[in-house]
Structure 1
Amino acid sequence: MKFGFLSGCLQNMTLEEKMAYAHEVGFTTLDVSCWPRNNARDYSGSDIDVENLTDSDIAKIKADQEKYQITFASLAYYDNMLDPDEATRQAYFDHLVAVIEAAGKLGTPLVGCFIGKNHNESLVENFDEFEAIFSKLVAIAEKNNVKLMIENCPMPGWQEDGLPGTISYSPELWDEMFRRVPSKSFGLNFDPSHLTWLGIDPLRAMRDYKDRIFHIDAKDVIVDKSQFYKYGIFGKKLNREHEEDLGFWTPVIPGLGDINWSTFYQVMKEIDYKGDFSIEHEDRRFSETNELVKQGLEYSFNYLNPIITDFK
């Protein structure tokens, strides 16, 4: 199993510099952040300019991969594909198509994205639009020998009240998602941290959806259940410190949160998981500088690597 991280956490570094760093630490793969060159998304990055990718760019990237012994687990682009503004939605669609095509040219097997939500429409209407859009996207992915995967984050920061900003965060919604787009080229980027704070058992979900799990994120979380008394399960509504601040959960690097990774890996072995494993670094305590980001990545590498070294 290849072990890596999502590249966007390191800022103001070239993709080659990130590959060199990953190799130095001992990582063997990267999820490469591929947002547009100009974007305002938090936790984003643009390590490959997919809209202007040339043959020489591809040759350079592949040479660097060989030099540093780094594969790409996925190309990553996560925006609201159901944005209520038609022009914005079309721009997101066009960029995701460019990411898919870039993945095909690079031989990268997966592209990760969100579904999102149009907050002006009903849930049924959202699923109708999802079906129309993602049927096209999955067909484009298949044409490029790529699989499309959805991360199960509810994105509470996308709505002012902190309620879910996507329609793809729970088993109930996955069932509808896969009913409407049943292609085997469409699956999950499985993130146990979100399931944990949502009260969904990630181990059961891993077993139940093993055939749809294409990739697994290593991200941890601290859930302070004592705060439910003050905020309830819907979370903080007033005076939030940042968009994701619901008052009772905090994303942290693996090894500093509530998830028992040894048990988690036993279930990965049980379901015969064959994909890659990748740290998604969103721990705010290790984010102000690249040096802090690297401290977080290396702590988690040293914590997780002994657990997974016998996982063949």
Structure 2
Amino acid sequence: MITTNIGKVFGLVCLAVGVSLIGVGCNGSSENGNGSELSGKVQIDGSSTVYPISEAVAEEFGAVHKDVHPIVGISGTGGGMKKFIAGEIDICDASRGMKEKEANACKEKGIEFIELSVAFDGLAVIANPKNTWCDCLTVGQLKELWRPESGVKQWKDLNPKWPAKDIKLYGPGTDSGTFDYFTEAIVGEEKASRSDYTASEDDNVLVTGIQSDEYAIGYFGYAYYEENKDKLKLLGVDGGKGCTTPSLETVRDNSYAPLSRPLFIYVRKSALERPEVEAFVKFYLKNAAQLAKDVGYVPVSDEVAKANEEALKGALSK
């Protein structure tokens, strides 16, 4: 579980954010539209990348609404989508956009939803701190390393000046939106990847693996690198305009290409009919910008934030 600076934020949210604008009082006396106390559960699952934001929102919301229990799981974007389509959860965290087949499955099930952009993230390419020979990889080298049927076994296969040592690969599991995004951006086809690597939906497993092997390399969300940067080495990526490393600035201006991406939550419209879910989503949008910064993500622009509010308003008016 990610325990980034969230704890420092909880006590400040009521001061830093206009919570009262959405009908939620910091004294815990919040009410829904008919004047009664909120209660119930809000079920969230999906991306491990979006998890830090959703968990932070859930913790703060639950502190204000003592009788509402937001539950945030991590089963990867694909796993979350399966639960969302099955009607098992109210909100799906996603580190990629919903696929056409998933949208069609929702339609077949009669599930209407709204898509809300909550932050931006960059994917970080990570090596062991003892790696002194590689500071940057081109997109071409990354593709050759990760493509299906790759012949790259040792570091020297990427550059003859590099060690004749076996590369140990670490990356997200196939249900992860991070996996989908990386393979499409680097290999050119979603889910096209070599299979002989250590895969996990738990970023902690990836960090531990890379940290423990001098010849390891892997990838996961930039925010999680930030939480573990004292244990890891961040590699630059050359997408054709020179070597660039991910940062709040390079992700925001898209100069860290092609490994910058938006992060989403998908909300079932039928779930919004429950006052606790409506209040939670409103709270989420009001607090996401501040919490995104605190967990290392890039907040959405004012224009995207306004579009989110309009999307939610439209869903609630029907």
Q: What TM-score do you get using the length of structure 1 for normalisation?
A: 0.34
Q: Which has the higher strand share?
A: 2
Bigger radius of gyration among the two: 2
Q: Which has the higher helix share?
A: 1
Q: What TM-score do you get using the length of structure 2 for normalisation?
A: 0.34
